[in-house]
Each structure stands twice: as C-alpha cells, then as structure tokens.
Amino acid sequence: MDTKTAGTVEYRVTGFGHPDAQALAQEVQQEYVRRYGSPDETEIRSEDFAAPAGLFMIAYLDGRPVACGGWRAKQAGPDGLRDGDAELKRMFVVPDARGKGLARAVLRRLERTAVEAGRTRFILETGTEQPEAIALYGSEGYAAIRKFGIYKDHPQSICLGKELDPAAVVRDVSV
C-alpha cells in the first residue's frame, strides 16, 4: 500500500497496446492539447515497449488505472543519443490522483526495469508547459542534455537525461 494514497496501489506491466494504456495515452494527448495546443506527434508504436527493448507500466489505485509510463530502447545516433539509452515516454497521472507520489513511484520502477534490461541512461523530452514534470525529474537527478527528437528545435522543448546507476536504482521503490 502506498503511504501517500488512501487505497491500494498496484503496478502492472501491461504493454502499450493494453486497453488501459491506450485510454491513458489518449488522456495524456488531451493534456498536451490543453497545455500546448496540439497532441504530441512523436511516433509511438506498441512494439517499441515490448521486452527486452522496452516496457510499459500502469499504476492502478483501488483497481482503477490512474498513472502510466514506459521506456523504449535507443541506440547511438544523431543528437547525442548513445547505445544503452532508454527513452522515457507517456508518463502521466490522471488529475484526481496527482500529488500522491504515483509519478515518482512509476518513474523509479521504470528506472529499475531499464537497469535490469541493461540500459545505462534514461533520456526524455518534456516541455516548458509541464512544470510539475520538470520539478519531478529535477528532484530525481535528471539534468539538461542535448535536444533530440522531432521537437528538438521547438523553443518549448526540454530534454533531460540521467545516468542509471544500478546500485542507486535498486533502492526502495515503495514511494
């Protein structure tokens, strides 16, 4: 049981094609529309999140899907991407479940699974209109990296990264 939430939290690896994952993905796209005026046009495919090259997870609060996130493997390439990178995607918590520590708990679990899969760095793209996300990532040790992806030239784009230290990532994830 999560200490910040009133209720039982269960974390399940579902895959991105799961109906609950797709419903949450639609909600996060609407969040982007509210904050930026349009959805994220980054290509996302279910197979990107299939083991061993990726993973997608949902947090359920009293049986209801309320938070999600996933990662997909990246290889060395343009814009400073490196072999061993894992790109964090679709981190989201539904509005009525925010402030309960769910995003941090999902992030830490995703970091752990990426390390277990041999990934050495988490990278992500967020934006200036997501101050909550920026604060979360900063508090978890993420720092600015060279911009990548389809929004790399957009002024609202912020790219962050964090080296994944196996010893540090295996910490308690019961946030």
- The pLDDT, as a whole number, for residue 6 is 66
Write out the E strands in the chain: 9-13, 54-61, 64-73, 85-93, 121-127, 143-144, 157-163
Question: Does the residue 130 lie in any domain?
Answer: yes
User: Based on C-alpha coordinates, what's the Rg of the chain?
Assistant: 15
Question: Does the residue 174 lie in any domain?
Answer: no
> Which amino acid is present at 175?
V
pLDDT by residue for the chain (175 residues), tens digit each?
Answer: 444 556 899 999 999 999 999 999 999 999 999 999 999 999 999 999 999 999 999 999 999 999 999 999 999 988 999 999 999 999 999 999 999 999 999 999 999 999 999 999 999 999 999 999 999 999 999 999 999 999 999 999 999 999 998 887 655 455 4
User: Are the CB atoms for 49 and 56 separated by under 8 Å?
Assistant: yes
- The pLDDT, as a whole number, for residue 7 is 86
Sign of the Cα pseudo-torsion (22, 24, 30, 33, in order): negative
- The pLDDT, as a whole number, for residue 2 is 44
Question: Does the residue 2 lie in any domain?
Answer: no
- The pLDDT, as a whole number, for residue 78 is 83
How many domains does one find in the chain?
1
Look up the domain containing 113 and give its range.
9-169
Whether the full predicted model's pTM is greater than 0.75, yes or no, is yes
Interacting residues of 112 by C-beta distance below 8 A, sequence separation 6+: 169, 170, 173
Report residue 100 as tokens. 């309960």
What is the domain-level CATH number for residue 27?
3.40.630.30
- The pLDDT, as a whole number, for residue 166 is 87
Report residue 129 as tokens. 């209109």
Question: Does the residue 4 lie in any domain?
Answer: no
